[in-house]
Amino acid sequence: MTKKERLHFFLVWLALGLAPLFVRPLWQPDEGRYAEIPREMLASGDWLTPTLNYVLYFEKPPFQYWLSAISMKLFGESPGAARLPLALAAFLTMCAAWLLARRLGGARPIWASFGAMSCMLLYVCSQILTLDALFSALCVFSLAAAVEAVYLRFQDGDRRHIIGWTLAFYVGVALAVLTKGPAAVVLVGGALFFSLYAAFGASEGHIRLRSALLRTLLSPYGWLAFAAIAVPWFVMVEAANPGHAHFFFYTEHFERFTTTKHLRQGSSNPILDKLYFVPVILLGAMPGLCACLMGLKRATKFVAASAKCPSMPDAPLGRWAVVATLAAFAWPLLFFSLSGSKLIPYVAPCMVPLIALAVVFEREQDGSSPARRMGVEMLALGGAFLLGAALILLSPKGGSTRWIADMQAVDRGGLWILLLGLVFAMLGAWVAWGPSAKSNDGSYAMGATGVPTAARWMAWHCALLLMLSIAAQRVNGAHSTIDWLVARAPKNAQWISHGNYFQALPFLTKDRVTLVGDAGELSFGRDRLGVSERDRWFIQDGAELTEAALRLRQEDPARPVWAISERPAWRGLPPDTQAAWEVMGEAPNKVLLRLRQDYLARSM
């Protein structure tokens, strides 16, 4: 990597991997959950057993919780500090893309780093506080490290570097297991297993490749490192909390992927369910979709053609690297397509291999075509935003579909979407039909045409994505945040979450919350509480909102009782129950309530 490429790498990471983490409050529900669990680790001092609202929460392992807790310990309990591990995820993602593109023979692998962070799917995942961004980053980085280790063994490289990259491979997989579970072994191990077919042959090159690959996959010190990192926490948490292993490995993983028990199918139609991730990949790769599809096509042709031709001794290594990268894209896509549980971020590990292939198999003779196609895709995204803005701004209020009505309820929501559409369309048109300009090294690198320099294209694209993050908060903030509601209550308030568990509420109030209504994913932890504690903090019947509030006030008369209620649950309460509460704030999907003082006096 040249000095200029290192500068570009750092600036892209700063703009797309770090800056967006600080532009908005926590979004419901995931960000509240994954900020509160590490906050409770800090508050309780228990870094072994994850809890959510102070009940056991065993759905995921603790690695990202630990990172967020350390970040909040250093920088304070804020949304930005809780999200800071995502900056590490972005850095690892960019490194993995660069490493893969370099080993595949790309002329400018820095474009793979930029493409990975600027594609729609990875950019969105990299700034929303879930476990998917770090899990994906660790998976693709460990794959890239395995490719590096195989290359160095094949070429009889420096032993220290071989050991270093081999350990990086195993440590990456182990940390991925500690981030989200054993799916990491399935995804990374599966891709490398399927790549074995490219290592079989009778030539000297195939024999050396096979040896290098098997020595990497069967490294004793690698497996020792994996076991030393991945195993101890599972052993200790099971010893401290018997039943964790069955819930985590069987209920949360085996049943999640082999059944529809968790109700996360992509569609009730079995065919559409299996095709769920196809549009996710297509939209998530934009604005580099055409380049990715061309890269897939050319990589497949390369593998087929190289298998039939006489080869130099090193040729099997290059072919294997392409096969491994193709497998790293195709295997997670196939695995999650067949799974009984589907969420959009699941296929994030597919994107880095896909983008690396796009960059590597771009040809000099393509000229300005790849960049112009990218401009057309950006223009299409702008057109979609403009169409949405038109529907929001021109549709009659009250008589439109649900999502349009929700957007109309947001102050200037339609105007923000209109602005996004205009900027996307203008930049797309500039790239698609602007003056041709080669990059500084004389090549038509991805994104270098249609703008004066490649660096300027990076800058404009980064600025546009940052604008997208700001606009998303302005448009979606009222629906997905509760900080502005919580800020209206006194700091010593006691809180009730009614109808729905508002996951950011304990993080914002720094206190345990009483849940009135369905416990949802807290059911596992609730069922392991003692009877008195369970009845104190969990009330199944949503109609008992006022009774729960009166009990809280009797326990601590000096602290007022406030509640955030899901709007349908609030509307479903009888009038005499609603009369006990004063509405202090409203959003399209929730209501802020305060227990009336006069009602409290009458009830006494």
Per-residue pLDDT of 345-374, as tens digits, reads 999 999 999 999 999 998 877 767 788 888
Q: What is the pLDDT of residue 180?
A: 95
Residue 55 three-state SS:
strand
User: Do the beta carbons of residue 385 and residue 420 sit within 8 Å?
Assistant: yes
How many other C-beta atoms can be found within 10 angstroms of the C-beta atom of residue 138?
30
Residue 33: pLDDT band (50, 70, 90) is: very high
How large is the angle between the packed helices 85-103 and 132-154, nearest 10 degrees? 30
Residue 436 has pLDDT above 70, yes or no: no
Q: DSSP for 556-587, please give it.
A: -TTS-EEEEEEHHHHHTS-HHHHTTEEEEEEE
Residue 413: pLDDT band (50, 70, 90) is: confident
Q: What is the pTM of this model?
A: 0.93
User: Do the beta carbons of residue 540 and residue 519 sit within 8 Å?
Assistant: yes
Residue 42 has pLDDT above 50, yes or no: yes
Residue 441 has pLDDT above 50, yes or no: no
Query: How many angstroms separate the CA atoms of 396 and 414, rounded?
Result: 13
> How distant, in Å, are the alpha carbons of 84, 265, 549 from that of 257?
29, 10, 40
- Single-letter amino acid code for the residue at 240: A
Residue 433: pLDDT band (50, 70, 90) is: confident
Chain segment 506-530, per-residue pLDDT in tens:
999 999 999 999 888 899 999 999 9
Average pLDDT score over residue span 124-147: 97
Q: What residues contact residue 404 under an 8 Å CB cut-off, 6+ apart?
A: 391, 392, 395
Q: What is the pLDDT of residue 77?
A: 95
Q: What is the pLDDT of residue 167?
A: 97
Q: What is the pLDDT of residue 548?
A: 93
Query: How many angstroms separate the CA atoms of 35 and 51, rounded?
Result: 11
User: Do the beta carbons of residue 545 and residue 573 sit within 8 Å?
Assistant: yes
Chain segment 302-341, per-residue pLDDT in tens:
998 876 665 666 788 999 999 999 999 999 999 999 998 8
Q: What is the pLDDT of residue 442?
A: 38
Average pLDDT score over residue span 215-243: 96
Taking the CA atoms of residue 457, residue 460, residue 465 and residue 467 in that order, the dihedral angle to the nearest 10 degrees is: -170
Q: What is the pLDDT of residue 4?
A: 87
Q: What is the pLDDT of residue 545?
A: 94
In degrees, to the nearest 5, what angle opens at C-alpha 52 toward C-alphas 589 and 75? 90
Query: Considering just the CA atoms, what is the radius of gyration of the chain in Å?
Result: 26
Asked whether the bond before 29 is cis by omega within 30 degrees of 0, the reply is yes
Q: DSSP for 312-372, please give it.
A: -TTHHHHHHHHHHHHHHHHHHHHHHHHSS---GGGGGGGHHHHHHHHHHT--GGGTTHHHH
Burial of 528 (0-12, 13-18, 19+ CB in 10 A): middle
% residues pLDDT > 70 (the chain) = 92
Residue 43 has pLDDT above 60, yes or no: yes
Query: How many angstroms separate the CA atoms of 480 and 24, rounded?
Result: 11
Q: DSSP for 490-502, please give it.
A: -TT-EEEEESS--
Comparison of pLDDT for 365 and 446, the residue scoring more: 365
Q: Where are the domains of the chain?
A: 84-99+106-362, 369-478, 484-603
Chain segment 551-567, per-residue pLDDT in tens:
999 899 899 999 999 99
Q: What residues contact residue 267 under an 8 Å CB cut-off, 6+ apart?
A: 273, 276
The count of residues in the chain is 604
Looking at 126-135, 199-208, 522-531, which range is the least confident one? Answer: 199-208
Q: DSSP for 375-430, please give it.
A: HHHHHHHHHHHHHHHHHHHHSPTTSS-HHHHHHHTSTTHHHHHHHHHHHHHHHHHH
Q: Which helix (H) or strand (E) holds 516?
A: strand 514-516
Comparison of pLDDT for 365 and 270, the residue scoring more: 270
Query: How many angstroms separate the CA atoms of 34 and 369, rounded?
Result: 43
Q: What is the pLDDT of residue 409?
A: 64
User: Do the beta carbons of residue 169 and residue 145 sit within 8 Å?
Assistant: yes
Q: DSSP for 279-297, please give it.
A: HHHHHHTTTSHHHHHHHHH
Comparison of pLDDT for 261 and 188, the residue scoring more: 188
Residue 499 has which token pair?
A: 């109808």
Kindly report the average pLDDT of the chain as a whole number. Answer: 89
User: Do the beta carbons of residue 238 and residue 56 sit within 8 Å?
Assistant: no
Q: What is the pLDDT of residue 397?
A: 73
Average pLDDT score over residue span 254-280: 83
